[in-house]
Amino acid sequence: MTTFHRGELSAQKRAGVLHEAARLAPMLERPAIPRGARMFLAEQPMLVLGATDRDGDPWATLLTGPPGFLDVDGPSTLTIAATPGPGDPLREALTEPVPVGMIVIEPDTRRRVRMNGTAHPTPAGLRVELAQVYGNCPKYIQARVPTRTPGAPGVAWRGTELTPADLDFIATADTFFITTADLDGNTDASHRGGNPGFLLASGPTRLRWPDYAGNSMFNTFGNLEVNPRAGLLLPDWTTGTLLHLTGSAVVDWDRAHAAGVPGAQRLVDFTVDRVVRVDNAAGLRWSEAEFSRFNPQM
């Protein structure tokens, strides 16, 4: 048995990184949370979580709380003292056991940890039995400092396409998160970052972004090789609004197409099927961004 499923192996082969990915494979075979990661998680006020709803659509959301709301209470068990708020597209899905992908980022230091496993509801939030725990490189993370700003989420707005205000926001975005899953439902959540303008909208249901050099494991692209469904999360760092999208993503592997976009090795086209926007959903506000020195200039 290989650590990577056939979609990941296919994506690695397309990208010409099979040998490099094989060298990194042992990272994915350790479900226990390292001591350093335990200390890191205990200090964090936010976690991005991806899962699939009861209709089979993937979404990503942001859970927040005071430091300590993420607690390691076993070698491979993470408890989360938070659940999605009213109107969140994953609120109902997380009331029963479901595969999840998670990423915890500390934007002011650009450290991050990715985790995959199965979430179980508890009276206080969630308990996640982990199957994978691994670190990632700090590229393309914009440095920001958080401030706790408690408040009630607004009423969720739902639609099938992006509004003009959404499109204006996307034009200024420097960060989003993507959730994908393989054919067995194993779920992954990943970060994408760049200078404002790296995420392009060509209409109310069409987005495109460049794929920059990463960790060579191609977890996201591997899932898309076998299952094109994907969910995006765009947090508004200044207002706490969360913009959730679900739809389908297709990787454009044509190097000639990517050549016209600075830093791009590939391009990804995303078709929006559903939109959920919740104002004041995140109980955090963030300082102005210090852009990553790795971001290609637009």
What angle, 0 to 180 degrees and rounded to 10, lies between the N-to-C axes of helices 6-15 and 219-226? 120
What's the pLDDT at 159?
A: 98
pLDDT digit string, tens, across residues 65-124: 999 999 999 899 999 999 999 999 999 999 999 999 999 999 999 999 999 999 999 999
Q: Are 289 and 237 in contact (CB under 8 A)?
A: yes
Q: In which band, very low, low, confident or very high, does the pLDDT at 1 lie, cut at 50, 70 and 90?
A: very low
What type of residue sits at position 36? G
Give residue 180's pLDDT band: very low, low, confident or very high (50, 70, 90): very high
The CATH H-level superfamily of 6-286 is Electron Transport, Fmn-binding Protein; Chain A (2.30.110.10)
pLDDT of amino acid 2:
62
CA 69/CA 90 separation, integer angstroms: 19
pTM over 0.75: yes
Domain ranges of the chain: 6-286
- Cα 135 to the chain's mean position, in Å? 14
pLDDT of residue 168: 97
| H or E segment and range at residue 243 | strand 242-252
End-to-end CA distance of the chain: 42
| pLDDT score of 26 | 84
Phi–psi pair at 231, nearest 5 degrees: -125, 140
The whole-number pLDDT of residue 45 equals: 96
Rg (Cα) of the chain, in Å, rounded? 18
Give pLDDT tens digits for 61-77.
999 999 999 999 989 99
